[in-house]
């Protein structure tokens, strides 16, 4: 064979990236077992079937070996790092010695695949696969792959669907290999299977999932299976490709911890090597008699057999059958239990739940496991994780309400009228700052309106200004347990990053510290303004809210009263009067406060040229109330002018104006009673004499009713309008003082509080909706919901050191603010089941919509619109290395105070629960004495002040579940520490409530952390399957909060 020496020399000098493999090897020629010379170190470069041997990396090639008609001899011993190339031509063998065993194995694989015969076999195998696909082409071959819903709309080709149960996965199967052949005889295989799909309509290989790695055996029983969700377009004609890889170093298997394009195969030198592959049709598996296929694994050239693979169809209802004794030896070295991947949500409450749940849950991921119980039976666990559309829906609704509230406040400040120069300048400054903040809210809402794509905010985006109102990494984490002897159970946890203002930073602490400092400074302010306590400013906002709510209602009911009078309808007149009386009395009651009178005086003094007639004399509260049923006729009411600017101010004038509303109402009531009484007497007399005359009387008196009521109703409206004008101005003046005393800090704190509250509320709404759906058929829970309220328990994992202390302060205030949120359940009238938010700051009502069938299951009290209270509590225990610094050199007072305060809140809820609910309303496996003991134990652990006392979190979580509460778990980004906590909680529940075999606790824990939903959450956030821990950090973690080896490392967080 002749070669062009110049071309070969040029090829050998090409850059390193152009070669299939290169590196240092010791090389010599061998005849028999005798080495002709001692091995010499050479720099070797492999390109195709050419092996270049060079003295060093920069020298010319001294020899070229053509890798044709040769084979590799296996390693001589376990410790030997050499291979031998033998040639059919009879020339001396080539001895190659590597620096390490992994490097030697890598060279053996590369050299074995380098010859042209192997390449030809690969080409033939690919041609056969292409021909098989072409035989099954449909007439619609050019159509691209679409989601199943779109495929259906375009007309699905005639593929054979797989029969299945509604809302259950279409196909599930488990995998096992036998008699795998290693590259060398003594090599212990660490294998996993990669699953790929060839859809019959698209003819493109799509990587779907992988199993876990099974170590040290040639007969691996893979405890990870495969699941295809209900909406996945899989048919009997679909082909599944199974590829088996041998992993050399699990911790360095970078392909399994990163994202590769679907069309690219991993290189052999990145920690794995190819063993074999096989393909089967889904229809063959489904129709097989034993529902099992035994397939031959072959090398990529389709020639050499490297073992067999068994594919077993899994029917979830049959998983619990049989004993588990056989796994004690088969799975001795395996790290996981049965896991199957899925991307579809499943509810156990039936298909009626789907419309409303699908409105809030998106992009779900599902994993399935089976673990042995203590009595050697199988239990089945389905772990689910889903993001929620509420991550963006709730903040956008809130910001819209903030904008309306702030615009209304700014207008009320402008409507204060003429003020003295000092106060007028103050008002102008406040309005200017408020307009700036209003513009910022509007810009944020506009930016959120442009957002498309994912419905969650990743941990990498927590510092983005445009997304600061959005909760971080909000997901539902659900565990659905099927036990052989226990009732099915659902366990839900909402995971979310700690509600905090990350964009604003924590240089000066969080809300807890900032609010306290601001209030102290405001109380001692040097500004020339009037100090009102936080309670008084809150009262002023409440009065303004009541005015804006009640005034249009009263006006509407007054018009209905006149309409009833014009129609001469006694029953309608009575009902209209009743509603008018109720709303007017609520209106009058709203102003029974000394704050309004004091604020009116303060406003008068702020007018230009004011003169006080006499000092303020507070009126008796009983006199303020007045008996609405014993007031004078409106003819005796002296109409008042608006607040005077340059005349004497009579402080008792407000009492008279305020009381005139009640007097006017009483006059209306008296007139209606008089009209109804006369009408009743007249009807009796006329009916006895002449029925036709009675009809004429009706027509005549109808006009009389309207004419007699009209002036009284107008007087009521006028009196009410006068009260509204004065009260609005006085309360707006109180708010002016609040804003003026703290510009611009006051507005910045409001913004920060809005941001934190928005994040907290989005999680709460999600938790409430999920809890409502799962408890719809639990009458005890529904009774508890409207009688006592809902317990919402937050588990915090933040440290009290550096920035995380500020995050914890933000989180504590945000969760505390949730106490002012009320929920109401309404019947959904359309297909849009997203919740509706109404109200104002510190007083929001969330209307949750349910489909008609589900709404009918609710108790009458809830159906009638009873407001449902929330009882949020927060318990925090830092577990990372920063908490170690805080405990030894810093301060943990913040954590201790938060835990103690929330323990008292939890005790209050438990007291209410025991007073209002019967004992049998507790979950079926609990007793009331258990709760008392758990609360006492929690109290003792909080008082103990033990370092990293995670027992506090376990006890609080258990109490929450026993009290039918909603569970939250939070860390900085709900990704790493949260994953450790959630998986530990799930496995602890399996052990304590479902008899998980004690020998499988750690295996189950490692499995959920390595192959479960939480590692998928990490991938969603940072595009890498690695928890963001390092070895030094993990040394500070409690034992059971440490991830398994190979699942952590450097990653952006």
Question: Of residues 650 and 160, which shows the higher confidence score?
Answer: 160
Q: What percent of the chain has pLDDT over 70?
A: 80
C-beta separation of 1015 from 1025 below 8 A: yes
Cα separation, 686 vs 681, in Å, equals 9
What beta strand segments (E) does 48-103 contain?
50-54, 61-66, 70-73, 82-87, 93-97
**Per-residue pLDDT at 104:** 85
DSSP letter at 996 equals: B
**Per-residue pLDDT at 689:** 54
How does the average pLDDT of the chain come out, rounded?
81
**Per-residue pLDDT at 452:** 83
Would you state the torsion angle of the CA atoms of residues 676, 682, 685, 691, taken in this order, to the nearest 10 degrees? -100
CA 67 to centroid of chain Cα atoms: 57
The pLDDT of residue 373 is above 60:
yes
Confidence of residue 987 (pLDDT cuts 50, 70, 90): very high
Would you state the torsion angle of the CA atoms of residues 150, 155, 160, 162, taken in this order, to the nearest 10 degrees? 30
**Per-residue pLDDT at 59:** 87
C-beta separation of 701 from 681 below 8 A: no
Contacts for 788 with CB less than 8 Å, ≥ 6 apart: 869, 909, 912, 913, 916, 917
Confidence of residue 607 (pLDDT cuts 50, 70, 90): confident
**Per-residue pLDDT at 826:** 95
Confidence of residue 504 (pLDDT cuts 50, 70, 90): very high
**Per-residue pLDDT at 651:** 64
Angle at 348 between CA 344 and CA 351, to 5 degrees: 75
What does the buried/exposed string (b/e) look like for 423-458 if buried means 16 or more CB atoms within 10 Å of the residue's CB? beebbeebbebbeebbeebbebbeebeeeeeebbbb
Mean pLDDT of 649-673: 82
Question: Of residues 182 and 815, which shows the higher confidence score?
Answer: 815
pLDDT tens across 16-26, in order? 778 888 999 99
Least confident of 282-296, 526-540, 1026-1040: 526-540
Contacts for 242 with CB less than 8 Å, ≥ 6 apart: 175, 193, 194, 195, 196, 277, 278, 279, 280, 295, 309, 311
pLDDT tens across 891-924, in order? 899 999 999 999 999 999 999 998 888 766 655 4
Closest by Cα among 242, 263, 148, 262 to 201: 148
Residues in the chain, total: 1053
C-beta separation of 246 from 217 below 8 A: no
Q: Which run of H or of E encompasses 1031? A: helix 1031-1035
Residues serving a catalytic function are 971
The pLDDT of residue 695 is above 70:
no
Contacts for 295 with CB less than 8 Å, ≥ 6 apart: 242, 278, 280, 308, 309, 310, 311
Confidence of residue 281 (pLDDT cuts 50, 70, 90): very high
Question: Of residues 378 and 55, which shows the higher confidence score?
Answer: 55
Residue whose structure tokens are 């495929």: 151
pLDDT tens across 105-125, in order? 888 878 877 877 767 766 766
- The CA distances from residue 227 to 209, 231, 247, 749, in Å, are 9, 12, 24, 49
The pLDDT of residue 667 is above 80:
yes
**Per-residue pLDDT at 1015:** 93
The pLDDT of residue 872 is above 90:
yes
The pLDDT of residue 650 is above 70:
no
**Per-residue pLDDT at 986:** 95
C-beta separation of 11 from 86 below 8 A: no
Six-digit token string for 540: 């002023």
Confidence of residue 128 (pLDDT cuts 50, 70, 90): low
Cα separation, 726 vs 642, in Å, equals 8
pLDDT tens across 206-232, in order? 888 888 777 888 888 776 778 787 778
pLDDT tens across 431-485, in order? 999 999 999 999 999 999 998 878 889 999 999 999 999 999 999 999 988 887 7
Q: List residues bridging with 387 in a β-sheet.
A: 362, 475
The structure's pTM equals 0.75
Confidence of residue 6 (pLDDT cuts 50, 70, 90): confident
Cα separation, 449 vs 29, in Å, equals 72
DSSP letter at 851 equals: -
Contacts for 485 with CB less than 8 Å, ≥ 6 apart: 377
Confidence of residue 547 (pLDDT cuts 50, 70, 90): confident
Confidence of residue 844 (pLDDT cuts 50, 70, 90): very high
- Whether cis (ω within 30° of 0) applies to the bond prior to 744 is yes
**Per-residue pLDDT at 4:** 76
CA 212 to centroid of chain Cα atoms: 27
pLDDT tens across 748-763, in order? 999 999 999 999 999 9
**Per-residue pLDDT at 606:** 86
Contacts for 782 with CB less than 8 Å, ≥ 6 apart: 775, 776, 858, 859, 862
């Amino acid at each position: 064979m002749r070669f062009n020496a110049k071309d070969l020399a040029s090829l050998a000098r090409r850059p390193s990236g152009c070669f299939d493999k290169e590196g240092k090897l010791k090389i010599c020629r061998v005849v028999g077992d005798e080495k002709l010379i001692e091995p010499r170190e050479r720099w070797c470069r492999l390109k195709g079937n050419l092996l270049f041997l060079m003295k060093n990396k920069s020298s010319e090639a001294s020899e070229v070996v053509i890798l044709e008609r040769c084979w590799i001899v296996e390693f001589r011993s376990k410790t030997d790092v050499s291979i031998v190339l033998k040639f059919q031509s009879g020339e001396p063998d080539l001895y190659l010695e590597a620096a390490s065993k992994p490097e030697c194995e890598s060279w053996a694989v590369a050299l074995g695949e380098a010859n042209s015969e192997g390449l030809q076999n690969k080409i033939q195998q690919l041609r056969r696969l292409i021909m098989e696909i072409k035989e099954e082409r449909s007439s619609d071959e050019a159509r691209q792959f679409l989601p199943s819903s779109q495929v259906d709309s375009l007309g699905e080709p005639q593929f054979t669907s797989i029969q299945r149960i509604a809302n259950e996965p279409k196909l599930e199967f488990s995998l096992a290999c036998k008699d795998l052949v290693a590259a060398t005889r003594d090599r212990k295989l660490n294998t996993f299977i990669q699953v790929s799909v060839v859809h019959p309509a698209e003819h493109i290989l799509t990587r779907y999932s992988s199993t876990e790695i099974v170590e040290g055996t040639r007969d691996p029983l893979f405890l990870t299976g495969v699941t295809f969700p209900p909406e996945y377009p899989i048919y009997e004609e679909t082909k599944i490709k199974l590829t088996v890889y041998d992993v050399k170093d699990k911790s360095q298997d970078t392909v399994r911890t990163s994202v590769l394009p679907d069309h690219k195969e991993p290189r052999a030198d990145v920690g794995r090597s190819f063993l074999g592959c096989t393909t089967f049709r889904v229809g063959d598996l489904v129709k097989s008699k034993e529902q099992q296929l035994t397939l031959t694994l072959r090398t990529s050239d389709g020639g050499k057999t490297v073992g067999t693979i068994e594919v077993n169809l899994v029917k979830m209802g049959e998983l619990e059958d049989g004993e588990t004794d056989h796994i004690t030896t088969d799975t001795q070295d395996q790290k996981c239990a049965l896991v199957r991947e899925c991307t579809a949500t499943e509810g156990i409450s039936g298909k009626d739940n789907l419309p409303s749940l699908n409105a809030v849950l998106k992009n779900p991921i599902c994993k399935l496991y089976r673990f042995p119980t203590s009595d050697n039976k199988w239990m089945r666990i389905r772990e689910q994780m889903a993001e929620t559309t509420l991550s963006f829906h709730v903040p956008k609704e809130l910001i819209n309400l903030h904008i309306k509230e702030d615009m209304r406040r700014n207008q009320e400040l402008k409507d204060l009228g003429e003020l003295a120069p000092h106060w007028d300048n103050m008002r102008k400054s406040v309005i200017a700052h408020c307009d700036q903040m209003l513009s910022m809210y509007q810009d944020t809402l506009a930016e959120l309106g442009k957002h498309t794509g994912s419905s969650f905010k990743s941990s990498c985006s927590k510092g983005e200004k445009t997304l600061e109102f959005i909760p971080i990494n909000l997901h539902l984490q659900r565990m659905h347990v099927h036990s052989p002897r226990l009732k099915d159970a659902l366990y839900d946890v909402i995971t979310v990053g700690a509600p905090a203002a990350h964009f604003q930073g924590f240089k000066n602490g969080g809300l807890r510290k900032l609010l306290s400092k601001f209030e102290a400074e405001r109380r001692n302010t040097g500004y020339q303004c009037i100090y009102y306590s936080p309670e008084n400013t809150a009262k002023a906002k409440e009065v303004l809210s009541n005015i804006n709510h009640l005034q249009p209602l009263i006006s509407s009911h007054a018009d209905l009263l006149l309409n009833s009078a014009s129609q001469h309808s006694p029953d309608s007149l009575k009902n209209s009067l009743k509603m008018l009386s109720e709303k007017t009395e609520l209106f009058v009651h709203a102003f029974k406060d000394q704050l309004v009178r004091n604020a009116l005086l303060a406003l008068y003094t702020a007018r230009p040229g004011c003169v006080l007639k006499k000092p303020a004399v507070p009126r008796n509260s009983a006199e303020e109330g007045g008996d609405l049923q014993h007031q004078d006729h409106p003819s005796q009411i002296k109409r008042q002018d608006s607040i005077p600017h340059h005349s004497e101010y009579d402080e008792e004038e407000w009492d008279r104006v305020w009381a005139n509303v009640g007097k006017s109402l009483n006059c209306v009531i008296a007139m209606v009673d008089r009209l109804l009484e006369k009408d009743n007497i007249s009807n009796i007399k006329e009916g006895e004499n002449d029925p036709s005359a009675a009809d004429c009387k009706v027509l005549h008196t109808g006009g009389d009713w309207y004419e007699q009521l009209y002036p009284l109703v107008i007087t009521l409206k006028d009196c009410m309008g006068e009260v509204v004008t004065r009260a609005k101005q006085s309360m707006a003046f109180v708010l002016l003082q609040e804003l003026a005393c703290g510009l611009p800090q006051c507005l910045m704190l409001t913004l920060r509080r809005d941001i934190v509250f928005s994040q907290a509320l989005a999680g709460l709404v999600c938790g409430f909706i999920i809890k409502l759906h799962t408890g719809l058929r639990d009458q005890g829970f529904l009774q508890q919901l409207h009688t006592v309220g809902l317990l919402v328990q937050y588990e915090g994992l933040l440290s009290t050191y550096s920035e995380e202390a500020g995050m914890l302060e933000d989180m504590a205030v945000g969760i505390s603010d949730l106490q002012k949120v009320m929920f109401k359940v309404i019947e959904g009238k359309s297909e849009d089941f997203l919740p509706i938010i109404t109200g104002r700051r510190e007083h929001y009502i969330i209307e949750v919509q349910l489909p008609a069938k589900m709404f009918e299951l609710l108790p009458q009290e809830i159906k009638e619109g009873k407001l449902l209270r929330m009882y949020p509590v927060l318990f925090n225990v830092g577990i990372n290395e920063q908490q170690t610094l805080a405990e030894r050199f810093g301060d943990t007072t913040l954590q201790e105070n938060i835990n103690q305060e929330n323990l008292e809140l939890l005790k209050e809820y438990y007291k209410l629960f025991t007073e209002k609910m019967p004992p049998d309303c507790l979950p079926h496996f609990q007793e009331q004495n258990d709760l008392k003991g758990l609360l006492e134990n929690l109290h003792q652990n909080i008082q103990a002040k033990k370092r990293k006392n995670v027992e506090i979190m376990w006890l609080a979580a258990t109490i929450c579940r026993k009290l039918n509460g909603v569970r939250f778990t939070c860390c900085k980004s709900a990704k790493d520490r949260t994953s450790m906590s959630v998986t530990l909680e799930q496995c602890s529940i399996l052990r304590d409530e479902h008899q998980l075999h004690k020998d499988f606790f750690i295996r189950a824990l490692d499995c959920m952390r390595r192959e479960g939903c939480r590692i998928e959450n990490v991938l969603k956030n940072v595009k890498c399957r690695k928890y963001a821990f390092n070895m030094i950090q993990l040394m500070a973690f409690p034992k059971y909060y440490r991830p398994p080896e190979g699942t952590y490392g450097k990653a952006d967080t």
